[in-house]
Homo-oligomer: A and B are copies of this chain.
Amino acid sequence: MKIESVDFFYLAMPEITTEADGSQDALLVRVTAGGHSGWGECEASPLVSIAGFVCPMSHGVCRPVGASVLGRTIESPADIARIAAEVEYNSMDLLQAAHTFSGVEMALWDLLGKVRGEPVWKLLGYSASHKKTPYASQLFGDEPHETYQGAVKARKDGFRAVKFGWGPIGRGRVESDEEHFRAAREGLGPDGILLVDVGQVWGEDVGAAAARLAALEATGAVWLEEPFHASALEAYGALARRSGKVKIAGGEGAHNVSMARHLIEYGGVGFIQIDCGRIGGIGPAKKVADYAAARNVTFVNHTFTSHLALSASLQPYAGLADHTICEFPFAPKPVAQEFTAKALQRDGNGEIAAPDAPGLGVEIDPEGVRKYLLDVEIKVSGRTLYVTPELI
């Protein structure tokens, strides 16, 4: 089969706010080949990712992503890897390329799985899709009692694990952060799994991060996530050497396999969190999962958006029985909920797994797409490089 078309659909809520909620818009990707189609999703900044696919070439290694995808053969996982390598080389000077290609790569796996009648995790070489414990990802409240209420609500909704992120943490006194950690623990109960995400708030300031370690350990937090800038390997390493029982987590900013590997090797993280919508798709995420598993580092998906992205992000470690924690979009915006026909369901134990269905096993709901679809047009020298495609 030849790749015939790659279509991008930019969906967004009518109003986008400055909260750290990545589910407010989405870039859906449809790839067709040989009469089949597959779907994927890029993680952020839809307009810029579209531009990365259609832009004019700047020179031999700054080509648009489309130049390494359209017309190529897709028959096997090896073809996907070959196309990925072409994109990496031919677009080495196009920084956005990895984000653009991520959604395309997912769609290629989905398409191939549908053609073969197999789930993507089987195509990746796994023999089973193991259950994962989803954690409800939510923001810290402005006040500790709101954090407490968030924890209580998540437990009521059947989540044993909860991650609190962002909000006031790291922006005020250590004591006030401690109050939030304690409120979260109180709301979760003693057997709840508490995870803390601070969204790069300390830049490279190891001391500021270390000042919170005692409180995190006292409240039994399993990990401290993204204390620093995604590339601050030295700071990660320094904190990891002091963090004791609290493991450091990070990796969502990785836009290639090397970056994730360096967070493990130089940054000393105990949990490596990969967003398939940023790292270049499912193939590179699987490489990170293999690498992590061989080094006693736990692989975790990073997913804050739709269940299409969730399914894609589960595939790379579906077969790793010991890597059980999984990020679960707890309260995504309607746009992220409505463009898929059916959500991944938690079972009676509150657990989920990558679907046992062909491809990514997630159907697109055209009505949901239409409802949030934006009209986009990009013209260069009078030539239309992109216009929102037809959905049918």
Question: Number of A interface residues, CB 8 Å?
Answer: 67
Q: Does A208 contact B (CB under 8 A)?
A: no
**Docked pose: A231 CA to B257 CA in angstroms:** 9
Chain A window 246-266, contacts with chain B (Cβ cutoff 8 Å), 1 for yes, 0 for no: 000000010110110110011
Asked whether, in the complex, the Cβ of B376 is within 8 Å of the Cβ of A379, the reply is: yes
**Docked pose: A229 CA to B257 CA in angstroms:** 11
Asked whether, in the complex, the Cβ of B89 is within 8 Å of the Cβ of A95, the reply is: no
Set B21, B48, B60, B381: member contacting A96, Cβ < 8 A:
B48
Asked whether, in the complex, the Cβ of B98 is within 8 Å of the Cβ of A95, the reply is: yes
**Docked pose: A342 CA to B16 CA in angstroms:** 46
What distance in Å separates the Cβ of A200 from its nearest Cβ neighbour in chain B? Answer: 6
Asked whether, in the complex, the Cβ of A96 is within 8 Å of the Cβ of B93, the reply is: no
Asked whether, in the complex, the Cβ of B93 is within 8 Å of the Cβ of A45, the reply is: yes
What distance in Å separates the Cβ of A118 from its nearest Cβ neighbour in chain B? Answer: 30
Q: Does A56 contact B (CB under 8 A)?
A: yes
Chain A window 14-51, contacts with chain B (Cβ cutoff 8 Å), 1 for yes, 0 for no: 00111111101100000000000000000111111011
Q: Does A57 contact B (CB under 8 A)?
A: yes
Asked whether, in the complex, the Cβ of B94 is within 8 Å of the Cβ of A45, the reply is: yes
Q: Does A282 contact B (CB under 8 A)?
A: no
Chain A window 49-61, contacts with chain B (Cβ cutoff 8 Å), 1 for yes, 0 for no: 0111011111111
- Which residues of chain B are within 8 angstroms of A43 by Cβ–Cβ distance? 93
- Which residues of chain B are within 8 angstroms of A61 by Cβ–Cβ distance? 20, 199
Asked whether, in the complex, the Cβ of B24 is within 8 Å of the Cβ of A45, the reply is: no
Q: Does A230 contact B (CB under 8 A)?
A: yes
**Docked pose: A52 CA to B259 CA in angstroms:** 22
**Docked pose: A93 CA to B102 CA in angstroms:** 14
